[in-house]
Amino acid sequence: MKSGVWVPERLSRIIEAVNEQLGYVERWLVISTVTAIVSSLAIGVFYVMLRLVTAIMAYIHGLEPSLALHGVSDYSIIALEGHNRFLVPLTVVLGAALASIIVYRWAPEAEGGGTDAIVDAYHHEAGNVRSRVALVKAVASALLLGGGGSGGPEGPAVQIGGASGSFISNVLRLSVEERKIALIAGVAGALSFIFQSPVGAALFAIEVLYERDMETAALVPALFASVIAYSFSLHILGPEYKLPSINVGDMLDVYGFDAMASYILLGLFIAPFAYLYTYVYQRIKESLNELVERKRISIFVKPVIGAAIVGVIGVFVPHILGTGEELLARMLEAFQEQRLGIVATSLGGLDIGMLASLFMLALLKIIATALTVGSGGSGGLLAPGLFAGAMLGELFGLLVAGYTDVKPALYAYLGMAALFGAASKVPVGLAFLVAEIGGTPVLIVPALVASLTASLATRGISIVESQLPQSIPPSLFTAESLLQIIREQGICIRVEKLASKRYITASWNETLREVVRRMIANKQHIVPIVDEAGRVVGVLDPGYAGLDLRYALRSDEPVAEVSLSQAPLVRVGDCVSRALEQMIIYGTDYVIVVDALYRYKGVITLNDIVGSVFPALLEKLEQPKGETPGVIRVRVQQGSESE
């Protein structure tokens, strides 16, 4: 495994000892805790940078910079309260231009929302995310969002958290599957830090990977990381940071039959807007990418084009600028207190101007975010989705007022879960996240009903483009069937990308008893045997050699004198097809990776290959029939491609 992380020898021994001695729960508690700490501190730095940029913007708009330093990191508040609104296009474009230069110069994978990039890394990069992505994403997002671009902080936070999980996994020399789980733990910790929602963040992290499935194997590590990050968030951001809680009133009213029916109607009402959010975002993204390819416009200009349009809109409707978090908090409080006032004439008891305003705010926020993030700007999609969902939910609540005993403000919270839950196909995670934001478990069932209804109504579309439909059990594949498919489709992933150094090795002069004990403690079924130079001389495979473990645990003879199995080897630079050929020849579910001098570089299992190759297979098989079939290109960690 090419981790790119140098670890001192003494620390390496400590890590190996920890891997050997700790059980599943203790081990993942340690890994998730470290991941949560690193991601929390990194996101804390990101927020400091965002506040600094916002302070500068406050000064430019004629406000006191301390406004930003003491809690306001939302450009929309500054634009609404400032005195130089016609400077909005300038600051938005300048922030986007600086962010564009930083992203495309040092980490092109940091463009866009962040969540999609992490899902792509999970499925296509074996959980590898370059460490520099965290720094680039933090700086670029602070400039873009602080300058007024429409996007959320959670997208950058997710990518920063994922990069933290990948970094920690490389330091600890985790296997490919464990690295992917650590990536998810980092995402959960990041979201929990941002929204102070430990359960919702963990569920979001394991649900966002698939359209109709969850990565349940990562649930416990994700919960550990999100709880730890939540505690850090309380100290760093403060307990009052999240959106305001809601007083739901009489619980029986919330769970009445008429109320439950209204939640289904809310989901159906929100569904077209979730579809619109996804459609507009993807169309803008495709159009600007096509503009770069066909018109030869510099990729650095692409985010500036979207930002320029947003800046012009923002002059007239500043509400759609920035993250929208502080503005959303104020509006949710206003919804609960029913103090929005009459904007226009009323008709049948309804304020037509109010309804139109809520509709336009939701629509323009969707368009502004699609332009900002879809053009390549570094910002998130979730927070704007919550903003638009809250406006539409309040609108629906006003329309059905009098037909149910549910307060209109409650529908605003449910609208948040329904819109982005449907758009991202994360209905369960969003339901719990919104319930925790709302400060009451009473919201869970209504939010689930609305979110699942909207998600089912928009089945087949998702704003997270790298999602797979569902996870595929590795047991469905054999080495023979996978090799045949790989050859037919022309896939090549270099073996060093998948090689895991988590497997302990043993020296040929160690006693058999000591080697077997370490093998059992490390929960592995084989042990590569190496000489003094680190060259692989064989493999201790009790299942293959028929070794009696009871005898082995009492034996003091050197392991080299035991009848070692000949190791199935592949060299650095070989494709996975060669690894599968060796598995078939030797009848194993593993191969050992060596360099040109036969020095040990790691172990690859059949499950590792299935987990990395299947997404590429699915991508190939889903290509339109009219396209010319060719070699699948699989991205590697450094950002290059191999055929």
Q: What is the pLDDT of residue 292?
A: 87
Q: What is the DSSP secondary-structure string of 280-303? A: HHHHHHHHHHHHHHHH---TTTHH
Q: What is the pLDDT of residue 343?
A: 34
Q: What is the pLDDT of residue 20?
A: 63
Q: What is the pLDDT of residue 623?
A: 55
Give CA–CA dist 381/302, Å, rounded: 18
5 pLDDT more than 60: no
Give CA–CA dist 641/643, Å, rounded: 7
N residues, the chain: 643
Q: What is the pLDDT of residue 356?
A: 87
Q: What is the pLDDT of residue 72?
A: 64
Q: What is the pLDDT of residue 618?
A: 63
* Mean pLDDT on 398-425: 92
Give the pairing of strands 506-507 and 527-530.
Answer: parallel
313 pLDDT more than 70: yes
Q: Quick one: CA dihedral 118, 120, 126, 132, positive or negative?
A: negative
604 pLDDT more than 50: yes
User: Burial level of 473, CB count in 10 A (0-12/13-18/19+)?
Assistant: exposed
Residue 217 structure tokens: 């194997």
* Mean pLDDT on 558-570: 79
178 pLDDT more than 90: no
Higher-scoring residue by pLDDT: 89, 3: 89
Alpha-helix runs per DSSP H in 82-218: 88-106, 115-124, 132-146, 154-171, 176-195, 198-207
Give CA–CA dist 280/289, Å, rounded: 14
Q: Which DSSP symbol is given to 538?
A: E
Q: What is the pLDDT of residue 207?
A: 95
pLDDT level of residue 420 (50, 70, 90 thresholds)? very high
Q: What is the DSSP secondary-structure string of 88-120? A: HHHHHHHHHHHHHHHHHHH-GGG-S-SHHHHHH
Closest CA to 39 of 214, 217, 150, 205: 205
Q: Which amino acid is at 615?
A: P
Three-point CA angle 41, 324, 448, nearest 5°: 85
* Mean pLDDT on 199-211: 94
| Helices 257-295/444-457 angle, 10° precision | 50
Contact call for residues 54 and 73 (beta carbons, < 8 A)? yes
Specify the range with the lowest mean pLDDT, choosing from 63-67, 114-118, 293-297, 527-531: 63-67
Contact call for residues 43 and 158 (beta carbons, < 8 A)? no
Phi first, then psi: what are they for 537, rounded to 5°?
-110, -5
Contact call for residues 259 and 411 (beta carbons, < 8 A)? no
* Mean pLDDT on 566-580: 89
User: Burial level of 157, CB count in 10 A (0-12/13-18/19+)?
Assistant: buried
Contact call for residues 594 and 582 (beta carbons, < 8 A)? no
What structural domains and CATH numbers belong to the chain?
9-236 (1.10.3080.10), 251-457 (1.10.3080.10), 474-642 (3.10.580.10)
| 3-class SS letters over 424-489 | HCCHHHHHHHHHHHHCCHHHHHHHHHHHHHHHHHCCCCCCCCCCECCCCCHHHCCHHHHHHHHHHH
* Mean pLDDT on 417-442: 94
Give CA–CA dist 46/236, Å, rounded: 12
Three-point CA angle 62, 67, 72, nearest 5°: 120
Q: What is the pLDDT of residues 241-276, one digit of tens each?
A: 678 888 888 888 899 899 999 999 999 999 999 999
Residue 304 DSSP SS3: helix
The average confidence (pLDDT) of the chain is 84
pTM of the model: 0.78
Residue 373 structure tokens: 């993030």
435 pLDDT more than 80: yes
Give the pairing of strands 590-594 and 569-571.
Answer: parallel
Alpha carbons within 13 A on the beta-carbon side of 75: 38
With tokens 């093998």, the residue in question is 519
Q: Quick one: CA dihedral 352, 357, 362, 363, positive or negative?
A: positive
Q: Which DSSP symbol is given to 321?
A: S
Q: What is the pLDDT of residue 641?
A: 34
User: Burial level of 465, CB count in 10 A (0-12/13-18/19+)?
Assistant: middle
Q: What is the pLDDT of residue 16?
A: 65
Max intra-chain CA distance, the chain: 94
Phi-psi region of 546 (alpha: psi -120 to 50; beta: other; left: phi over 0): left
Q: What is the pLDDT of residue 615?
A: 67
Phi first, then psi: what are they for 26, rounded to 5°?
-65, -40
User: Burial level of 289, CB count in 10 A (0-12/13-18/19+)?
Assistant: middle
Q: What is the pLDDT of residue 169?
A: 86
Closest CA to 379 of 194, 601, 567: 194
